[in-house]
């Protein structure tokens, strides 16, 4: 009996997953990797991390990559996104290159190429070398220069194996979590620094785009943004304004300069109103204008629902974007009961139409979408996790993506977060997202039901 396919995707559509180096590789003695911000933070404050699990082991991909890569084809990958650890390649952030890192990444990339899997390589996934953090990190424009040099080294060392690059993953996250909400090191509450960090990151991204095109004009380079739509509570003008401003800070702060080459005027005025304008130069703004991305990576997990603020802000409080909106919990929303996040598949369609209508229908790839589950081992039957909930989650989002493509969206692929269950910042291994299970006690890796289903999805180019 021939399997009926109701949702067929365009020819050449890419299927795969995303992970990051700091969340998957781990560190072993003698590997030459330098300390990064996460290594340092865990060393001084392990209580912050779920079950006191830091980044030292992660998914142990560094020492097991030769075997782990074989899971790619077994789970239907035609594309795979991971990152390079800046502190592994340049232990001090600048200066001497760690040749063990060059050998590791070149061999890994060669093996993935040999599997017929397209590589998307990200230069930065929340992990700054601690030597640079000690000098001010992303608050310091010297870090921008250091990042540019790091990017150039990557293009030189790996450009024959990688033709699709990413400058930053979700750059708004370190801004908010590191300088407002204290979920990332350096755990500051400093809105002025937050805005400068955002600006410096955007400048670094543009410089990497420029360097990539100079190294090889045929190579494509992107930035990955979590373009969470902001949905207003109601049609009331105050709620509509709250959603517009929330989206300015959360999404458009990086989307507009990355794709259009300049910041939204309303955002610039809001930043100025609160005396947070960053240190800029006309030359830097010109670099941003002239070096926009070739395509876009889009991450989507859940919607951002907002309402007009219920109370006036405390005039003595430091500035937070939430001075303009309250988070809103919509009654009757569909939930992932294992993670506490709302499931709203329509968000993908709305992102797609926004990019089509307001951003020149730029080519994009859905680079992250996934379902985190705590206590997933309870769904194990006969040695395999039966994660039908994850299959249903993916199907629901793919239906909306299929609808968007039918309506003209320029989406070229779908990447699930993640490949093998990975370590996740302060949450460590609390929530599992992988197509492949990682047993923390034995380090054994086993394909989940969703991994076998994903292979069928890829083979059939639909479901």
- Report, as residue numbers or ranges, the catalytic residues: 170, 368
Which residues pair with residue 447 across a beta bridge?
A: 436
Contacts of 4 (CB under 8 A, 6+ apart): none
Helices (H), 172-260: 172-179, 191-215, 237-247, 253-259
Which residues pair with residue 82 across a beta bridge?
A: 121
Q: How far is CA 181 from CA 53, 399, 420, in A?
A: 21, 34, 29
Q: Count other Cβ atoms within 10 Å, centred on residue 264.
A: 16
| Omega prior to 204 cis, within 30 of 0 | no
The single residue listed with the structure tokens 């991204």 is 205
The single residue listed with the structure tokens 């769904």 is 379
Q: How far is CA 225 from the centre of its chain?
A: 7
Nearest alpha carbon to residue 420 among 26, 113, 115:
26
| Omega prior to 405 cis, within 30 of 0 | no
Round to whole Å and give the CA distance between 273 and 295: 33
Question: Do 370 and 433 contact (CB within 8 A), yes or no?
Answer: yes
Helix (H, G, I), strand (E, B) or coil at 52: helix
Q: C-alpha angle with apex 390: 4 to 300, nearest 5 degrees? A: 105
Sign of the dihedral defined by the CA atoms of residues 457, 367, 443, 106, in that order:
positive
Q: C-alpha angle with apex 109: 106 to 110, nearest 5 degrees? A: 80
Count Cα neighbours of 2 within 13 Å in the Cβ-side half-sphere: 4
Question: Do 79 and 19 contact (CB within 8 A), yes or no?
Answer: no
Which residues pair with residue 325 across a beta bridge?
A: none
The single residue listed with the structure tokens 């969206």 is 409
Round to whole Å and give the CA distance between 64 and 53: 20
Nearest alpha carbon to residue 187 among 14, 41, 70, 83:
41
Question: Do 249 and 306 contact (CB within 8 A), yes or no?
Answer: no
Round to whole Å and give the CA distance between 444 and 448: 12
DSSP codes, 220-233: EEEEEEE---EEES
């Amino acid at each position: 009996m021939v399997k009926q396919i109701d949702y067929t995707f365009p020819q050449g559509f890419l299927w795969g997953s995303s992970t990051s180096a700091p969340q998957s590789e781990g560190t072993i003695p003698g590997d030459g990797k330098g300390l990064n911000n996460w290594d340092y933070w865990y060393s001084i404050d392990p209580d912050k991390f779920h079950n006191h699990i830091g980044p030292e082991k992660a998914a142990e991909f560094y020492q097991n990559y030769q075997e782990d890569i074989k899971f790619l084809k077994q789970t239907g990958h035609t594309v795979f996104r991971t990152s390079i650890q800046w502190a592994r390649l340049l232990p001090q952030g600048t200066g001497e290159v760690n040749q063990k890192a060059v050998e590791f990444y070149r061999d890994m990339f060669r093996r993935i190429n040999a599997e017929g899997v397209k590589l998307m390589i990200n230069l930065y996934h929340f992990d700054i070398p601690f030597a640079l953090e000690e000098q001010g990190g992303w608050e310091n424009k010297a870090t921008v220069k250091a990042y540019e040099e790091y990017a150039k080294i990557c293009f030189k060392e790996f450009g024959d194996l990688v033709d699709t690059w990413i400058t930053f993953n979700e750059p708004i996250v370190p801004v908010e979590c590191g300088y407002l909400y204290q979920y990332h090191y350096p755990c500051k509450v400093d809105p002025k620094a937050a805005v400068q960090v955002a600006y410096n990151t955007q400048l670094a991204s543009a410089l990497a785009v420029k360097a990539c095109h100079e190294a090889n004009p045929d190579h494509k380079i992107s930035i990955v943004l979590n373009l969470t739509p902001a949905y207003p509570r109601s049609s009331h003008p105050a709620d509509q304004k709250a959603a517009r401003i929330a989206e300015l800070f959360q999404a458009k702060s990086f989307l507009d300069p990355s794709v259009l080459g300049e910041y939204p005027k309303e955002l610039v005025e809001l930043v100025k109103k609160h005396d947070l304008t960053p240190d800029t130069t006309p030359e830097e703004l010109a670099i941003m204008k002239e070096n926009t991305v070739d395509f876009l990576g889009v991450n989507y997990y859940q919607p951002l629902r907002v309402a007009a603020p219920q109370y006036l802000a405390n005039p003595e409080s430091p500035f937070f974007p939430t001075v303009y909106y309250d988070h809103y919990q919509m009654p009757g929303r569909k939930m992932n009961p294992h993670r506490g996040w709302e499931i709203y598949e329509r968000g993908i369609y709305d992102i797609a139409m926004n990019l089509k209508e307001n951003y020149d229908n730029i080519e994009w790839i859905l680079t992250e979408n996934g379902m985190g589950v705590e206590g997933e081992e309870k769904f194990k039957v006969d040695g395999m996790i039966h994660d039908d909930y994850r299959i249903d989650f993916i199907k629901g989002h793919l239906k909306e993506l299929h609808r968007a493509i039918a309506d003209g969206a320029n989406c070229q692929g779908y990447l699930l977060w993640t490949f093998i269950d990975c370590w996740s910042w302060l949450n460590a291994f609390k929530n599992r997202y992988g197509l492949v299970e990682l047993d923390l006690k034995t380090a054994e890796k086993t394909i989940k039901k969703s991994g076998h289903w994903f292979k069928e999805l890829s083979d059939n180019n639909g479901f």
